[in-house]
Amino acid sequence: MSQDAPIDVTTATFPDTRHVLEAGCDRCALAADRECLSWGTGSLEADLVVVGEAPASGNPDATRWRGGNWTGMAYTSRHAGRRIRAMIESLGREAYYTNAIKCFPADPDDPSTNREPTDGERRTCRAHLLAELEAIRPTVVLATGKHATTSVLAADGRSLEGFLETVLEPIRCEGLGLWLLPVLHPSYQDVWLRRLGYDPASYVAAIDDRLSTLLE
């Protein structure tokens, strides 16, 4: 059985809209390598916000899931976007999807791949994330991966001590007025699931359980 068995990745959808905060933003050097800014997508009334770190390079030749660097919409890549959106849809949840960094951080040695954003780039782009959270006022932020979790905590004036220990452990962010729920990044999910004591089905069930507790 495929490790993606609980999630039908062929049915995930995304709205053809984006919530532009600063058209043509050139606050940092990332503007030089992006194809377009990757803004958040989804309902501004959502109780759940899904935060990733940054858009990947994507595939401009894909028919739909080209990635935020080409679509201008967060979580529209074939791997991470499709997988996370499909999971949220399978749980019957409505979410707003965004990234802590709005532009593709190109690796100077291989522009087709991404590098980790610098601390300065994170700080510069944090105003956009804070503006989104202020506008939406979600109950829960689902952060996908270590870097997204670090960025949300930084927006709350806090730091991350160890990521794996926080996975599926709700963290109250008083400054932001919300719950943070860290989950594994889709790219590393299959590597870490069983090490954390989950199979794919029990992992999705655990996310559903945490969200049900925090949202209802």
H/E stretch holding 19: none
Residue 135: the pLDDT is: 94
Residue 4: the pLDDT is: 35
Question: Tell me: the pLDDT tens digits for 47-98?
Answer: 999 999 999 888 899 888 899 999 999 999 988 888 999 999 999 999 999 9
**Residue type at 202 in one-letter notation:** S
Residue 16: the pLDDT is: 66
Residue 45: the pLDDT is: 93
Residue 7: the pLDDT is: 44
Of the candidates 51, 29, 9, the one whose C-alpha atom is nearest the C-alpha of residue 121 is: 29
Q: Are 39 and 19 in contact (CB under 8 A)?
A: yes
Residue 108: the pLDDT is: 86
Look-up: residue for tokens 């601390």? 119
Residue 2: the pLDDT is: 30
Residue 6: the pLDDT is: 39
Residue spans of the chain under pLDDT 50: 1-8
List the domains of the chain with CATH numbers: 29-215 (3.40.470.10)
